[in-house]
Amino acid sequence: MPSRCRPGPVPLPLRRPFRTTLPVPRPGRALRRGEVIRSADARSPARRRGRGRQNGRMRIRAARLEDVPVLQEIERAAGEVFREVGMPEIAADEPFSDEEFEPFLAAGLAWVAADGGDRPVAYLLAERVDGDLHVEQVSVHPGSARQGLGRALIDRAARRAADEGLPALTLTTFAEVPWNAPYYARCGFTVLDGPQIGPQLRAVREREAAHGLDRWPRVCMRRAVRPQDGAP
């Protein structure tokens, strides 16, 4: 799917719009109002330092070129949950190509959650948009769902934003899919209204709409960077 070119020193290719493929409730159990997916390492010193951050047996680290085939597998598997909510077109969306991953890797804006064998089971990609750090993609393999990996990856991106002096994380996502906007709200994101949306983020939404993504309601969201996000 087409998306956008990011202005800046590391140009990103035109590619499809953001979709979030995060943990979903176990089969047969509805997501409860106010339920929070907690990160096991939310208060640990390793989390605050960031390198090799642990989440149980999981480790958050920078993504590497050799991870790309596994990341593509993760996205295919995670995308299947969209079929369950009547969005088969999103489920059928192809993963990023090798070439599309490369700029994120080169910019140091790609992270994975790796298991005890150092195999990625989740990943996040980010880019700079309107002076914020924009979460471009988050995917968690269904076999590793409900372990706080999406939240841990978001926290890692927030620390990078804090280290760079950026004021916030942003993203675009589906408003009514339980593991999209409602999940991000529990992670501290709030919905932006029209005047709050910067020109580059607005361009993202315009391209998504032109591609037909507004068949399902979508929103822009923002989470301010907090002092603890950059704690050593």
Q: Write phi, then psi, for 139 (nearest 5 degrees).
A: -140, 135
Alpha-carbon distance 205 to 3, whole Å?
Answer: 9
For residue 66, tell me if it sits in a domain. yes
* CATH number of the structural domain spanning residue 122: 3.40.630.30
CA proximity to 212, closest of 82, 89, 80, 95 = 89
Neighbours of 106 (CB within 10 A): 11
Alpha-carbon distance 135 to 170, whole Å?
Answer: 6
Query: What would the pLDDT profile of 169-198 be if each residue is shown by its tens digit?
Result: 999 999 999 999 999 999 999 999 989 999
Query: What would the pLDDT profile of 54-109 be if each residue is shown by its tens digit?
Result: 555 899 999 999 999 999 999 999 999 999 999 999 999 889 999 999 999 999 99
**86 touches 178 (CB < 8 A):** no
Residues of 175-187 as b/e, b for ≥16 C-beta within 10 angstroms? eebbbbbbbbeeb
- The structural domain count of the chain equals 1
Q: Is the pLDDT of residue 19 over 70?
A: no
Q: Which domain holds residue 184?
A: 40-226
For residue 27, tell me if it sits in a domain. no
